[in-house]
Amino acid sequence: MTNPPTRRTVLATGAASALLMGCSEYGDENSGGDTEEASSVAPSGTASGGGAPGGKELTKTADVPVGGGKIFKEEKVVVTQPEKGGFKAFSAVCTHQGCVVADVSDGTINCKCHSSRFRVADGSVAGGPAPKPLPAKQITVTGDSISLA
């Protein structure tokens, strides 16, 4: 009796094939940069989770508190909802010395490095040493989904 192939088996086989193909390309054609360009093309649609068209989904509207916000450290974006149903996004990189902001509370986006605070409504400086507002970021709200534009 043979077991059906597991996901791990399939992935391992696929990786081995890709390696073999890569080696043969380099071995057969010593043409410089052409092979690198060809191998960097990613299949389309693999990163999409079925969300809104355009950018990567960040979160659901219900996960951003009214009067507050949510920080996405990996994307370096903070999404706020100053008023119910009105969403904004800003860079999460503090304009003082570049720390990623730490939290959102009491209507401000807060950097813990040197205590700068930015208003959730427009990213303007509410306190601390930051010299400039947080720059706005483009987002798209589609239904209950918020994506980077």
DSSP SS3 for 31:
coil
Q: How many residues bind ligand FES (CB under 6 A)?
A: 13
Judged by CB, which is closer to ligand FES: 76, or 96? 96
Are the C-beta atoms of 61 and 94 separated by less than 8 Å? no
Task: Identify residues 57-96 at the interface with ligand FES (CB under 6 A).
Answer: 94, 96
Judged by CB, which is closer to ligand FES: 111, or 146? 111
Which residues share a beta bridge with 93? 100
Judged by CB, which is closer to ligand FES: 113, or 121? 113
Residue 102 as a binder of ligand FES (CB under 6 A): the answer is no
Residues near 13 by Cβ (< 8 Å), separated by ≥ 6? 5
Q: Count CA within 13 A, CB hemisphere, residue 45.
A: 1
Are the C-beta atoms of 122 and 108 separated by less than 8 Å? no
Judged by CB, which is closer to ligand FES: 61, or 105? 105
User: How far apart are CB 128 and ligand FES at their closest, in Å?
Assistant: 5
User: How far apart are CB 134 and ligand FES at their closest, in Å?
Assistant: 10
